[in-house]
């Protein structure tokens, strides 16, 4: 059975999947408005998708914005994510820029989590993971396929690879082309949790057909799900309020 993680009052990997809400503003004003709006919602953690930010390559602007987000959201855990274009993000940067940015964000002590892409090229992966752990920052080690759903064996292999590399929360998101792809993702999730995971994992099948995977984590083994406050950051995200209602209903009846 997979272990749990404890962050700012959250127990990740036990009970109802924790709800993470993405912030996708492109300007400082938009992000501040998003953060203020989030204060009125019932969610567990926030993901800042910095690749949407107009100044996303400027590290000084990133740190300044993080300070503002932290001030508004106070004790809510923050997941810092720069999603590259090859994995469905908004921008592309060099490998050296990528790891340098993450290392400086870790050193700022402004976030509880960072999301690193499992297949990011370069030699900075181990150094960045080790630095994050040195500063008490948890690492989501992720892989996204926006075209297809790999085999069950490949999904499990990627999750296990993320675990072996030191990711605190392995994550895989895939795109279904038919309902059987969603079943394969759920089957892989359950097998990973049952047979291999020693920590929480995140999986999801994207798009409309994959919606059930965002709701059934407590049954199959995905510890965090993503819900939208306004604009979505990936296909198939549900409104955070509706998501909370469904997750609570499932939990109540298990």
Q: Which residues are annotated as a binding site?
A: 47-49, 83, 214, 233, 237
* Phi–psi pair at 228, nearest 5 degrees: -95, 135
Please report which residue ranges of 138-239 form alpha helices under DSSP H: 152-164, 179-195, 211-215, 217-220
- In the chain the domains, ranked by start, together with CATH numbers, are 5-253 (3.20.20.70)
Question: What pLDDT score was predicted for residue 53?
Answer: 95
Catalytic residue set: 144, 171
The neighbour count for residue 115, using CB atoms within 10 Å, is 21
Residues with Cβ within 8 Å of residue 66, at least 6 apart in sequence:
48, 78, 80, 105, 108, 110, 111
**What pLDDT is attached to residue 57?**
80
pLDDT of 179 reads: 96
What's the burial of 246, exposed, middle or buried (CB within 10 Å: 0-12/13-18/19+)? middle
pLDDT value at position 1?
46
What is the pLDDT at residue 233? Answer: 56
Which run of H or E residues covers position 35?
helix 28-38
Residue where the block lists tokens 């047979």: 195
pLDDT in tens, the chain (254 residues): 469 999 999 999 999 999 999 999 999 999 999 999 999 999 999 999 999 998 778 999 999 999 999 999 998 999 999 999 999 999 999 999 999 999 999 999 999 999 999 999 778 999 999 999 999 999 999 999 999 999 999 999 999 999 999 999 999 999 999 999 999 999 999 999 999 999 999 999 999 999 999 999 999 999 999 998 866 555 667 889 899 999 999 999 98
- Report if pTM > 0.75: yes
Distance of CA 176 to the CA centre of its chain: 19
Phi, then psi, of 138 in degrees rounded to 5 = -85, 145
> Per the annotation, where are the binding residues for 3-dehydroquinate?
47-49, 83, 214, 233, 237
Q: How far apart are CA 216 and CA 211, in angstroms?
A: 9
Largest CA distance in the chain: 48
Place of tokens 């790891």: 99
Residue 136 has a pLDDT of: 98
């Amino acid at each position: 059975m997979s272990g749990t993680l404890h962050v700012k009052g959250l127990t990740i990997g036990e009970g109802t999947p924790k709800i993470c809400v993405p912030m996708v503003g492109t300007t400082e004003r938009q992000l501040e408005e998003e953060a203020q709006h989030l204060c009125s919602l019932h969610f567990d953690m926030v993901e800042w998708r910095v690749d949407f930010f107009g100044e996303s390559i400027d590290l000084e602007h990133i740190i300044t914005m993080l300070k503002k987000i932290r001030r508004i959201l106070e004790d809510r855990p923050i997941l810092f994510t720069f999603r590259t274009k090859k994995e469905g993000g908004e921008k592309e940067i060099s490998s050296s820029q990528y790891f340098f940015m993450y290392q400086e964000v870790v050193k700022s002590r402004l976030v509880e989590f960072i999301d690193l892409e499992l297949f990011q090229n370069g030699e900075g992966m181990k150094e960045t993971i080790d630095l994050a752990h040195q500063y008490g920052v948890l690492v989501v080690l992720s892989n996204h396929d926006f075209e297809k759903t790999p085999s069950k064996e490949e999904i499990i292999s990627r999750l296990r690879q993320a675990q072996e590399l030191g990711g605190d929360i392995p994550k895989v998101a895939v795109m279904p082309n038919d309902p059987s792809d969603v079943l394969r993702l759920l089957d892989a999730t359950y097998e990973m949790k049952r047979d291999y995971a020693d920590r929480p994992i995140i999986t999801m099948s994207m798009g409309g057909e994959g919606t059930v995977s965002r709701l059934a984590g407590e049954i199959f083994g995905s510890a965090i799900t993503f819900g939208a406050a306004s604009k979505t950051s990936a296909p198939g995200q549900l409104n955070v309020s509706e998501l909370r209602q469904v997750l609570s209903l499932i939990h109540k009846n298990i």
